[in-house]
Amino acid sequence: LCKPAFDGPRCEQCKSGFHSYPNSAFLFPVCSCDPHTSLDVSCTPSGQCRCQPNYSGASCDQCAPGYYGYPSCAPCGCSAEGSHYSHCDRLSGQCVCRPGVVGRRCDACTHGLYGI
Protein backbone atom coordinates (compact mmCIF):
# COMPACT_ATOMS: atom_id res chain seq x y z
CA LEU A 1 0.00 0.00 0.00
CA CYS A 2 1.45 3.38 -1.06
CA LYS A 3 1.64 6.56 1.01
CA PRO A 4 -0.82 9.33 0.05
CA ALA A 5 0.09 11.06 -3.26
CA PHE A 6 2.12 8.05 -4.50
CA ASP A 7 1.24 5.35 -6.99
CA GLY A 8 2.82 2.65 -9.11
CA PRO A 9 3.95 -0.96 -8.55
CA ARG A 10 6.68 0.19 -6.14
CA CYS A 11 5.06 3.51 -5.14
CA GLU A 12 7.68 5.26 -7.30
CA GLN A 13 5.44 7.79 -9.05
CA CYS A 14 2.92 10.48 -8.21
CA LYS A 15 -0.80 9.79 -8.20
CA SER A 16 -2.83 11.60 -10.84
CA GLY A 17 -3.22 15.23 -9.80
CA PHE A 18 0.15 15.43 -8.02
CA HIS A 19 3.63 16.32 -9.29
CA SER A 20 7.31 16.95 -8.49
CA TYR A 21 8.46 13.45 -7.51
CA PRO A 22 11.36 12.61 -7.44
CA ASN A 23 12.62 16.19 -7.88
CA SER A 24 11.23 17.55 -4.62
CA ALA A 25 11.76 16.62 -1.00
CA PHE A 26 8.52 18.39 -0.06
CA LEU A 27 4.88 17.35 -0.09
CA PHE A 28 3.72 17.10 -3.70
CA PRO A 29 1.25 19.86 -4.53
CA VAL A 30 -1.93 19.06 -6.39
CA CYS A 31 -1.85 20.00 -10.07
CA SER A 32 -3.92 23.10 -10.75
CA CYS A 33 -4.95 22.27 -14.32
CA ASP A 34 -7.97 24.19 -15.62
CA PRO A 35 -10.54 21.45 -16.35
CA HIS A 36 -11.98 23.43 -19.29
CA THR A 37 -8.69 24.19 -21.07
CA SER A 38 -6.42 21.27 -20.22
CA LEU A 39 -6.54 17.79 -21.72
CA ASP A 40 -6.77 16.14 -18.29
CA VAL A 41 -6.10 16.91 -14.61
CA SER A 42 -2.66 15.30 -14.51
CA CYS A 43 0.58 17.17 -15.15
CA THR A 44 4.26 16.60 -15.83
CA PRO A 45 6.75 16.04 -13.00
CA SER A 46 7.54 19.78 -13.11
CA GLY A 47 3.86 20.75 -12.70
CA GLN A 48 3.05 21.65 -16.35
CA CYS A 49 -0.50 20.74 -17.35
CA ARG A 50 -1.18 19.26 -20.79
CA CYS A 51 -3.08 22.06 -22.55
CA GLN A 52 -5.58 22.01 -25.40
CA PRO A 53 -3.99 23.38 -28.62
CA ASN A 54 -5.08 27.02 -28.21
CA TYR A 55 -4.05 27.34 -24.52
CA SER A 56 -0.73 27.64 -22.66
CA GLY A 57 0.73 28.32 -19.23
CA ALA A 58 1.49 25.96 -16.35
CA SER A 59 -2.24 25.64 -15.58
CA CYS A 60 -3.48 26.21 -19.17
CA ASP A 61 -4.83 29.58 -18.00
CA GLN A 62 -3.71 31.78 -20.91
CA CYS A 63 -3.90 31.82 -24.68
CA ALA A 64 -1.17 30.14 -26.71
CA PRO A 65 0.75 32.21 -29.29
CA GLY A 66 -1.52 32.77 -32.29
CA TYR A 67 -4.66 33.02 -30.11
CA TYR A 68 -6.25 35.81 -28.04
CA GLY A 69 -9.05 36.64 -25.61
CA TYR A 70 -8.79 34.16 -22.73
CA PRO A 71 -10.86 32.16 -21.90
CA SER A 72 -12.24 31.75 -25.43
CA CYS A 73 -8.75 31.99 -27.06
CA ALA A 74 -9.85 32.66 -30.64
CA PRO A 75 -7.33 32.45 -33.51
CA CYS A 76 -5.55 35.75 -34.29
CA GLY A 77 -6.11 35.41 -38.03
CA CYS A 78 -3.35 37.92 -38.86
CA SER A 79 -3.00 38.64 -42.57
CA ALA A 80 0.15 36.99 -43.90
CA GLU A 81 0.61 39.88 -46.34
CA GLY A 82 -0.21 42.77 -44.00
CA SER A 83 1.25 41.72 -40.64
CA HIS A 84 4.78 41.11 -39.39
CA TYR A 85 3.88 37.98 -37.38
CA SER A 86 1.23 35.27 -37.21
CA HIS A 87 0.63 35.97 -33.49
CA CYS A 88 -1.20 38.94 -31.97
CA ASP A 89 -1.73 40.71 -28.65
CA ARG A 90 -3.13 38.02 -26.33
CA LEU A 91 -5.74 40.38 -24.86
CA SER A 92 -6.96 42.54 -27.75
CA GLY A 93 -6.16 40.34 -30.74
CA GLN A 94 -4.40 43.23 -32.52
CA CYS A 95 -1.83 41.98 -35.03
CA VAL A 96 1.45 43.86 -35.64
CA CYS A 97 0.86 45.61 -38.98
CA ARG A 98 3.39 46.45 -41.66
CA PRO A 99 3.74 50.15 -42.62
CA GLY A 100 0.70 51.41 -44.53
CA VAL A 101 -1.55 48.60 -43.27
CA VAL A 102 -4.30 48.88 -40.61
CA GLY A 103 -7.02 46.81 -38.97
CA ARG A 104 -7.04 44.29 -36.13
CA ARG A 105 -5.93 41.59 -38.56
CA CYS A 106 -3.75 43.96 -40.67
CA ASP A 107 -5.92 43.33 -43.67
CA ALA A 108 -6.69 46.87 -44.90
CA CYS A 109 -4.64 49.66 -46.42
CA THR A 110 -4.18 53.05 -44.75
CA HIS A 111 -6.48 55.69 -46.28
CA GLY A 112 -5.08 56.73 -49.65
CA LEU A 113 -3.11 53.52 -50.26
CA TYR A 114 -4.11 50.32 -52.01
CA GLY A 115 -2.72 46.82 -52.61
CA ILE A 116 -1.21 45.16 -49.55
In the chain, domain spans = 1-63, 76-107
70, 54 contact by CB (below 8 A): no
More confident residue, 30 or 33: 33
- CA dist., res. 66 & res. 81, Å (int): 16
Give yes or no for residue 27 having a pLDDT over 60: no
Topology classification of domain 1-63: Tie2 ligand-binding domain fold (2.170.300)
Let me know the angle formed at the C-alpha of 99 by 95 and 103, rounded to the nearest 5 degrees: 40
Beta bridge partners of 67: 75
- CA dist., res. 34 & res. 75, Å (int): 20
DSSP-derived secondary structure letter, 69? S
69-112: per-residue pLDDT in tens? 999 999 999 999 999 999 999 999 999 999 999 999 999 998 66
Which superfamily does 76-107 belong to?
Laminin (2.10.25.10)
Mean pLDDT value across the chain: 86
Give yes or no for residue 68 having a pLDDT over 70: yes
Query: 36 — alpha (psi -120 to 50), left (phi > 0) or beta?
Result: alpha
